[in-house]
Amino acid sequence: MTLADLLSAPPAIVAAGVDVFSDALRAQGAEVYDVDWRPPGFGDPAELAALALDPRRAAANRTAVERIMAAGSQLVDVRPAREVLGLPDRMLLHAGPPIAWADASGPLRGALIGACLFEGWADTAEEAERILAAGEITLDPCHHHRAVGPMAGVTSPSMWMWCLQDPVHGGQAFSNLNEGLGKVLRMGAYNDEVITRLRWMRDVLGPVLAKAVRGPVDAGADPVDVKSILAQMLQMGDEGHNRNRAGSLMALRELSPAIVAVEGVPSSDIAAVLEFAGGNEHFFLNLGMPTAKLAMDSARGIPGSSMVTVMARNGTEFGIQTAGTGDRWFTGPANTPVGLFLGDYGPEDANPDIGDSAIMETYGVGGFTMAAAPAIVRFVGGSVPDALATTERMYQLTLAENPAMQVPILGFRGSPTGIDVLKVARSGWLPQINTGMAGRVAGTGQVGAGLVQPPQQCFEQALRALAEETRAA
């Protein structure tokens, strides 16, 4: 066959991977040959066998999934971290697994410095660095306190927290308030603009939201059903991690009547709160994250379960936890997201992955439901077929489909839920996360957004630990 023959004849296509590519090509009249191929798996055969043959596993995973599906999420209060978390002076919480100052990345260091300035523990960035390096400030993961925080996730005693409860299992979960976009603490920025905003959030936003949330609940009204908002936003073009436009507007719709009715507050403050919330596309993210945290925490401590309950990153390491191994962390070096950059920033400016917000993917939304929000690819990169294929692939790694979190374009199929360590190891595929990118240098702020996966070794360690637990049972 000549080159001319090749270019003039109808194309014959060989496709490997999920069916969505082949189906799309066939719909256009192309001749497609499917090859049943998938990436090679990983893990020691003896460990894979031990976990696969564990007689407890099926029932344990079924219990874990049932608890996740049943979990609810109600917004019941807004209070300072020192009150609801018992956070003492000179302690800061951060995203991801445990880490020391010496190992902290640029954006985490920037956020820790900014928190020290905000709390008044230091007057200059240099003084903040000194006390942090000297160990005068205790650092601990948000996850150790039933809390989650996006990006650096730094939470200090004076910051106000969303307080959510699970009416089914009785759990509680917390998250700080979202700062909006631009130069923000969670991205590692700590200039005067950042500190001024944090003080306004402490002095105005937090107290107003507290009265708006607490007043109706104290008067006997039903708490805001945050899980319901999350379910609705998936049907309105959001995926619950990097795109929260519909969710933020629905949350504001629920809260605004009570905000307007708050007494004893200047009308200018009420207007500022409404303007801030209405202009913050990620306002809902800090409500969605503790909703996911509530569900995943309900599945903790189930012997024999191979389901992942936490995925979190501190900018240096990526860590996961499983239902069958409790609070034990399995960690590896965090990968750097690949995606789109703001302004003149490029790959060399991006820090490795950071944030507790991967709790959304752990729950089965975010990067797992990109098919519900095809417009997200304009922010994180890729294409609409990529978004569809990603969601299809995540079904291969999970234990169930969540009927409460439906994906319209897939015939309202439930979202892929319950990451299974064994399925990840057998397939060789890793969970997909879409995320923001913080600047590598402290103080930079956000440089872009993109896609990232956990390091394989997190799952290798979890597989080994689960196999050891199986043998010891």
Chain segment 45-63, per-residue pLDDT in tens: 999 999 999 999 999 999 9
Burial 388-407 (b: 16+ CB within 10 A, else e): bbbbbbbbebbbbbbebbbb
Tens digits of residue pLDDT in 396-454: 999 999 999 999 999 999 999 999 999 999 999 999 999 999 999 998 989 999 999 99
Tell whether 387 is covered by a domain. yes
Which tokens go with 313? Answer: 């990153």
Tens digits of residue pLDDT in 362-402: 999 999 999 999 888 877 877 888 889 999 999 999 999 99
Residue 237's CATH number: 3.90.1710.10
Of the candidates 309, 307, 281, 275, the residue with the CA atom closest to the CA atom of residue 294: 309
Tell whether 295 is covered by a domain. no
Q: Tokens 């730094």 identify what position? A: 154
Tell whether 40 is covered by a domain. no
Separation between Cα atoms, residue 327 and residue 48, nearest integer Å: 22
Q: Kindly state whether residues 244 and 212 are assigned to the same domain.
A: yes
Q: Kindly state whether residues 314 and 399 are assigned to the same domain.
A: yes
Indicate the pLDDT class of residue 30, thresholds 50, 70 and 90.
Answer: confident
Which pLDDT value is given to residue 382?
77
Query: Domain ends where: 238, 256, 289?
Result: 289
* 468 pLDDT higher than 90: yes
Q: Kindly state whether residues 121 and 245 are assigned to the same domain.
A: yes
Tell whether 279 is covered by a domain. yes
User: DSSP labels for 203-253?
Assistant: IIIHHHHHHHHHHHHHTTPPPEEHHHHHHHHHTTT--SSS--HHHHHHHHH
Which pLDDT value is given to residue 31?
79
The answer to whether the CB of 329 falls within 8 A of the CB of 316 is no
Residue 443's CATH number: 3.90.1700.10
Q: Kindly state whether residues 267 and 229 are assigned to the same domain.
A: yes
Q: Kindly state whether residues 116 and 243 are assigned to the same domain.
A: yes
Tens digits of residue pLDDT in 209-228: 999 999 998 999 999 999 99
Helix axes 456-472, 45-52, angle to 10 degrees: 60
Residue 29 domain boundaries: 3-35
Q: Kindly state whether residues 86 and 14 are assigned to the same domain.
A: no
Tell whether 170 is covered by a domain. yes
Query: Domain ends where: 289, 315, 330?
Result: 289
Give the C-alpha distances (Å, rounded to integers) separating 90 from 76, 137, 139, 150, 158: 27, 5, 9, 21, 11
Give this prediction's pTM. 0.91
* 456 pLDDT higher than 90: yes
- Give the count of beta carbons closer than 10 Å to the beta carbon of residue 35: 9
Indicate the pLDDT class of residue 28, thresholds 50, 70 and 90.
Answer: confident
* 306 pLDDT higher than 80: yes
- Give the count of beta carbons closer than 10 Å to the beta carbon of residue 186: 31
Tell whether 103 is covered by a domain. yes
Q: Kindly state whether residues 115 and 242 are assigned to the same domain.
A: yes
Which tokens go with 233? Answer: 């936003």
Give the total number of structural domains in the chain: 3
Please name the residues in contact with 356: beta carbons below 8 A apart, sequence gap of 6 or more.
Answer: 95, 96, 142, 143, 148, 149, 150, 153, 289, 312, 313
Which pLDDT value is given to residue 14?
75
The answer to whether the CB of 269 falls within 8 A of the CB of 277 is no
Q: Kindly state whether residues 79 and 153 are assigned to the same domain.
A: yes
Q: Kindly state whether residues 53 and 111 are assigned to the same domain.
A: no
- Give the count of beta carbons closer than 10 Å to the beta carbon of residue 358: 32
Query: Domain ends where: 259, 289, 319?
Result: 289
* 241 pLDDT higher than 70: yes
Tell whether 265 is covered by a domain. yes
Tell whether 296 is covered by a domain. no
The answer to whether the CB of 259 falls within 8 A of the CB of 209 is yes
Which pLDDT value is given to residue 9?
66
Which pLDDT value is given to residue 220?
92
Q: Kindly state whether residues 256 and 333 are assigned to the same domain.
A: no
**DSSP code of residue 10:** P
**DSSP code of residue 201:** I
Q: Kindly state whether residues 101 and 238 are assigned to the same domain.
A: yes
| Cα–chain center distance at 451 | 12
Of the candidates 382, 473, 378, 469, the residue with the CA atom closest to the CA atom of residue 432: 382
Q: Kindly state whether residues 353 and 276 are assigned to the same domain.
A: no
Angle CA 106–153–342, to nearest 5:
55
